[in-house]
Structure 1
Amino acid sequence: MDMDRPPATTLNLMQQVPIDAQTISETIRRARQLGSGRPELSEMVELEEVLRGHIALLLAEARKPDRAQGQGSVEANRLTGRLDSIERQTRQGLGRGAPAAHVQVHQLAQDCQWLLARHTAEVGR
């Protein structure tokens, strides 16, 4: 059993939750605005948790078998690598101190934005 992945029952529950693009976009916007001031650590902790939840939903959707793009192709391998990298990033934690937390939240926001854009493009097909 892979201890870094949620249990299958959790993954199944995550796949059943509808993706709310507007809420996810609002969270990304909030995370990106952190650079305009001195955010409280509690705010960064909260944003990290919410972003990780959004990413988990979007990753589950992106990994659905019906989304596969030519298994074994270069494109499929790149996609798998990118999704795996995003998943690893969600397990990094905030690190030590406000600067590390700030970087982590921004990275998660960027990853979340990429996943949301990909999801939106897939839904529009």
Structure 2
Amino acid sequence: MRDPIDAETIAATIRHALHLGAGRPSPGELAEAAETLTGHIALLITEAREAAHGSRPVCVEAADCAGRFHGIERQMKQGLGDGALSAHVQVHLLARDCQWLLAHHTARVGW
């Protein structure tokens, strides 16, 4: 059975988003990166929540998982803010959350 989560595409999105911090991307580029990352996170977090309740947990402690998931979901709802700096920070945080979820996904199912 093929994994419905495309780890390579998600990893490329994360790399691109983190690379945006090295330059001066337009607000549109940041918004697009945030939207794409949010979509990937939504897919990964759903799968991670299911795994957390299954036989192969994502986190050692269930409370750790619940807290981390809550923080990621809260971050997804933040928006880009009013300025370039807040948009850069938000995209970076989304990329790191996505990276964490992808790392746990690939640890469970392989690359």
Are 1:66 and 2:54 matched, yes or no? yes
Q: What is aligned with 1:33?
A: 19
Within a 5 Å distance, the mapping from 1:88-107 to structure 2 comes to: 88-107=74-93
Amino acid at match of 1:66: G
Residue in structure 1 matched with residue 94 of structure 2 by the alignment: 108
Structure 1 CA distance for aligned equivalents of residues 79 and 21 of structure 2: 19
Q: Indicate the structure (1 or 2) with the bigger Cα radius of gyration.
A: 1
On the 8 A contact 1:68/1:76 being kept in 2, the answer is no
Where 2:61 maps in the other structure, the secondary structure is: helix
Question: Quick check: 2:30–2:88 contact (8 Å CA) kept in 1?
Answer: yes
Q: Does 1:78 pair with 2:78?
A: no
Q: How many residues align?
A: 104
| Residue of 34, 37, 54 corresponding to 1:51 | 37
1:122 paired residue number: 108
Residues 74-104 of structure 1: per-residue CA shift (max 9 Å, x gap) = 7111111101110110000001111100000
Aligned-pair identity (%): 61
- TM-score when normalising by structure 1: 0.78
Contact 2:21 2:92 in 1 (8 A): no
Q: Is the 8 A contact 1:27 1:51 kept in 2?
A: yes
Which residues of structure 2 form unaligned runs of 5+? none
SS of the aligned residue for 1:36 comes to coil
State the TM-score, normalized to the length of structure 2.
Answer: 0.88
